[in-house]
Amino acid sequence: MIEVSSTKNNFVKELKKLSKKKYRQEQGHYLIEGLHLIEEALKSKANVTTIIMTHQGQELLTELPLTSDKRAYYLLSDDVFKSVSDVPAPQGIMALVKLEQVNSLKNLSGRLLLLDNVQDPGNVGTMIRTADAAGYAGVVLGEGCADIYNPKVLRSMQGSHFHVTIVEANLAAIIFELKEKGMGIYGTELNPEAVDYRLLKCAADFALIMGNEGQGVSSQLLQLTDKNVYIPIIGQAESLNVAVAAGILMFSLQS
């Protein structure tokens, strides 16, 4: 156990850098915080290399399924821990996880969620968590999407990235690949030519595309779909939050 009581410690400085994607990629690790996320990581056999805690957080170790003694353990003072933490009231435990990204969907079947330029971290994390809950096999993040290892995305996902395959890829190329496998491709748009989602007869395996918070799915991608759907608005709201809309569609669209 290595004890750290200074924010000027080099290890602490490196931890703080992990709030930025550039440094996560350079270091090959990302930071997760809280008992639940660490427990999910360990249960999913993710490569948890380091556990960091306060004296209070140390008491939580007994609740974790720790089966390896090869990890590094750091004990931080409360002030140092708070300087690294991204939450208002930290539990006092966090961990470093090795960055391992999947770059292929070749072995996936079932239902997939494709995100086109979804920039809000909370929306991205919520949709991945909902995809997990709805039994989707994978999520593809297109250009412009928030990084899944962003601290806010990680909090919103609540560990679902350990259960669902997540790929960063060019969506147009992915759509052509999925079409060759016989999958249905459904976009979302507010357009008179779109179909009420309740009337859509889905293919057995399909991909659902959700778009940017302001502009929606790009016109280029909408031209590649089999059908585009919309959710009828009953009240006076102009539109739905993209994560809410995605939740409705993911649970409603069944083959």
Distance CA 9, CA 22 (A): 21
CA 104 to centroid of chain Cα atoms: 16
pTM for the model stands at 0.91
| Predicted local distance difference test score (pLDDT) of residue 193 | 83
CB atoms within 10 A of CB 86: 15
The answer to whether residues 158 and 33 touch, using CB atoms and an 8 Å cutoff, is no
| Predicted local distance difference test score (pLDDT) of residue 103 | 60
Taking residues 223-252, what's their average pLDDT? 94
CA 131 to centroid of chain Cα atoms: 10
The answer to whether residues 186 and 203 touch, using CB atoms and an 8 Å cutoff, is no
Asked if the model's pLDDT at residue 66 lies above 90, the reply is no
| Predicted local distance difference test score (pLDDT) of residue 110 | 86
Sheet strands (E) in the chain: 2-4, 29-33, 48-53, 72-76, 93-98, 111-115, 138-141, 165-168, 184-188, 195-196, 206-210, 227-230
Task: Dump pLDDT digits (tens) for 160-181.
Answer: 999 999 999 999 999 999 999 9
CATH fold of 111-252, please?
Alpha/beta knot (3.40.1280)
Asked if the model's pLDDT at residue 69 lies above 90, the reply is no
Taking residues 29-42, what's their average pLDDT? 95
Asked if the model's pLDDT at residue 129 lies above 90, the reply is yes
- The domain locations on the chain are 2-98, 111-252
Q: CATH code for 2-98?
A: 3.30.1330.30
Instruction: Specify which residues 115 forms β-bridges with.
Output: 141, 210
